[in-house]
Structure 1
Amino acid sequence: MGGARRDRGRRGAAPCHAAFRQGAGARRRGSPGRGRARVGRTGPGARHSHRPRRRPPPPPRFAALGDSLTEGVGDRVDGAWRGWAALLAQGLGEAGRPAEFRNFAVSGALTRDVHDSQTPEVLAFAPDIASVVVGVNDTLRHTFDIHDIAVRLNKVCAALSESGTRLLTACLPDPGTMLALPGPLARPLARRQRGVNAVVHALSERYGAIHLHIADAAWVDDRTMWSADRLHPGERGHRMIARRFHELLAAEGLALGIPPGAEPEQPAPSRVAKAAWLATAGTAWVARRCTDLLPQLIALAGSEVRHWARGTSARLDHVAENALSSALASLSLDVPLARMGE
């Protein structure tokens, strides 16, 4: 970003990513003209020349892909969602020149939606930096399949990387823990999210992504970071994510501006307002995400209880780890050290 923009049309697209790359035309910047200019005479026949001043580099382009977390749910400003990605964009460019930012994230999106719908649009936008943070909604579906998730995320990351875009990724806490579900209900969701995080770790390493760990207990346990629904960050949490990404980008010279502030600017909602939201819109949001999962989750909880009673709970972990290993092996990826531990 400290020089001319990359020519995104020179590199040929791999066949498996052709559908993504058809609309991602190249961006070029013309070289400043060179020549001599007569600026006056200080003596007979004397000539002076000067070089034209170089134009400052254009602000970086930043695209955000994902679901409601990246859309900004939990950080409402002037009646609309803002979120960590918009906060980060303000500090990517030089002072007074924020990044050219577009948020493609959509509430409720699955990895399939990021692969099928968001990625082609992002490639047409031709960003310098793109965040890919998705997967929690997949864990809340009865169709959860770690192999399909790994394949789709690999295609997304490959298409963006091959276009010259630098990736941002993150691993996330599991929704069962966030919703404080009983153990038999929470454990299956935790197992799924750990699998998704392991895939993200492996792909981040493959494509040289800037990766942010936000599945750790310190973040999860700090209730001041979260909104009333217990699934999305509040303004403080969104600011924390933006600041941590900014720190990682600045270390590589990719963030030139000032990081967003840590303290919220909007007044915190009252307890009454939080309770009212959770009883209405919040409950409806969770219900929409979990409707097709509930029968399966009850069955999974029954299986957890039976294995716990028999002392064979480790078998469920082994089944999940074997599925993860198979998914990564199909992409010629090794299971990262974090594996199912995050």
Structure 2
Amino acid sequence: MVVGVTVMSVDVTPLPDRPEHPPLAAVVSPKRARRLAVLGDSTAVGLGDPLPRRGGWRGVGPLVAAALGVDRGGYLNPSFAGARMRCVLTKQVPAAVAHRPDVALLIAGMNDTLRPDFDASRVAADLAEVIRRLRATGTVVLPVRFHDHSRVFRLPASLKRALSARVAELNAAIDDVVAREGVSCLDLARLPGAYDLASWSVDRLHPSELGHRMLADGFTGLLAEAGFDVPEPVSLACGGGAQPSAAGHVGWLVLKGIPWLWRRGREFLPYAAVIMWNSFRAR
């Protein structure tokens, strides 16, 4: 017996497209930095950005701390003027390791270039050890590479060539360490306005308040790229610091700036003389 089967057509309405969502692994909340350490030399101290009334210095460290929401108890700054990279390793890193910061900023190396015993390979070895010891505690370390300071501070031609050569040698060493250790690095020469005089204090050795704000903005930009929360971005509008008076400028130069230049100049001159002699022979 043959049974007839009638096939009916059925309209199928496609389901609406589901909204696309990123995979769960890609949805990551920004990291919160609760502890910050600032290591290095006089720029890390904050010279060039004086505080009103009570005196002292503010600078890049407190600006970054405010941007990250780090409170006073979470902030550490054992830096001091004149520090070389070896000073950071032996005198500052132990305190920083004990602090166990989430983030450590490192501004050091320029003082090494001004000494007669400058050795870029030794600076590189010390920098690498600084990074390793801090990273062993889970710290994100951000060093800097330097601008050509001879473009900011007017020097005789021979001294300018000598300083430029040493800064280039220092930067090459820093670049090598940064690549090997796999850390981010703030390039001071690439900061917008790095060579504008408004970015520098009257001594032309340290950043002005604007310069410190530029540093802080650069550091927090790198931290944001690394996944850190920056709840209060750094403003480049100056405010909260003291406006140095003309008398204060002169006083600093007479009591601090000129003696410092005299000491460092005497140490640096033999190297500059070699550069000048080599330039003369190359003619």
Q: TM-score, normalised by structure 2?
A: 0.80
Show the counterpart of 2:261: 286
Q: Is the 8 A contact 1:73 1:81 kept in 2?
A: yes
Show the counterpart of 1:259: 233
For residue 198 of structure 2, what is the amino acid of its counterpart?
T
Show the counterpart of 2:243: 268
Q: How many angstroms apart in 1 are the aligned matches of 2:156 and 2:191? A: 18
Q: How many angstroms apart in 1 are the aligned matches of 2:73 and 2:211? A: 21
| Structure 1 counterpart of 2:66, from 75, 86, 90 | 90
Q: What do residues 73-119 of structure 1 show as CA deviations (whole Å, max 9, x unaligned)?
A: 1011031011101110111138xx57811012110001110111111
Show the counterpart of 2:144: 170
Q: How many angstroms apart in 2 are the aligned matches of 1:138 and 1:284? A: 18
1:217 deviates by: 8.3
Which structure 1 segments of 5+ residues have no match? 1-56, 312-342
Show the counterpart of 2:176: 202
Task: Please show how residues 28-39 of structure 1 align to structure 2 within 5 Å.
Answer: none
| Structure 1 counterpart of 2:55, from 57, 62, 79 | 79
Q: How many angstroms apart in 2 are the aligned matches of 1:279 and 1:204? A: 38
Moved over 6 A (4+): none
Q: Aligned pair 1:240/2:214, yes or no?
A: yes
Q: What do residues 283-312 of structure 1 show as CA deviations (whole Å, max 9, x unaligned)?
A: 123234444333x134224324423xx33x
Which structure 2 segments of 5+ residues have no match? 1-30
Task: Please show how residues 72-151 of structure 1 align to structure 2 within 5 Å.
Answer: 72-77=46-51, 78-93=54-69, 100-151=74-125
For residue 257 of structure 2, what is the amino acid of its counterpart?
G
For residue 78 of structure 2, what is the amino acid of its counterpart?
F
Q: Specify which structure has the bigger relative contact order, considering alpha-carbon pairs within 8 angstroms and separated by 6 or more residues.
A: 2
Task: Please show how residues 3-14 of structure 1 align to structure 2 within 5 Å.
Answer: none
| Structure 1 counterpart of 2:223, from 249, 274, 291 | 249
Structure 1 residues 299 and 80, CA gap change in structure 2 (3 angstroms): same
Q: How many angstroms apart in 1 are the aligned matches of 2:74 and 2:265? A: 35
For residue 156 of structure 1, what is the amino acid of its counterpart?
V
Any idea what SS the aligned residue of 2:36 has?
A: strand
Superposition RMSD on alpha carbons, in Å?
Answer: 2.3
Structure 1 residues 63 and 286, CA gap change in structure 2 (3 angstroms): same
Larger of the two Rg values belongs to structure = 2
Q: How many angstroms apart in 2 are the aligned matches of 1:289 and 1:132? A: 22
Residues matched between the structures, number: 250
Q: What percentage of aligned pairs have identical amino acids?
A: 34
1:155 deviates by: 1.1
Q: TM-score, normalised by structure 1?
A: 0.67
Q: How many angstroms apart in 1 are the aligned matches of 2:274 and 2:152? A: 18
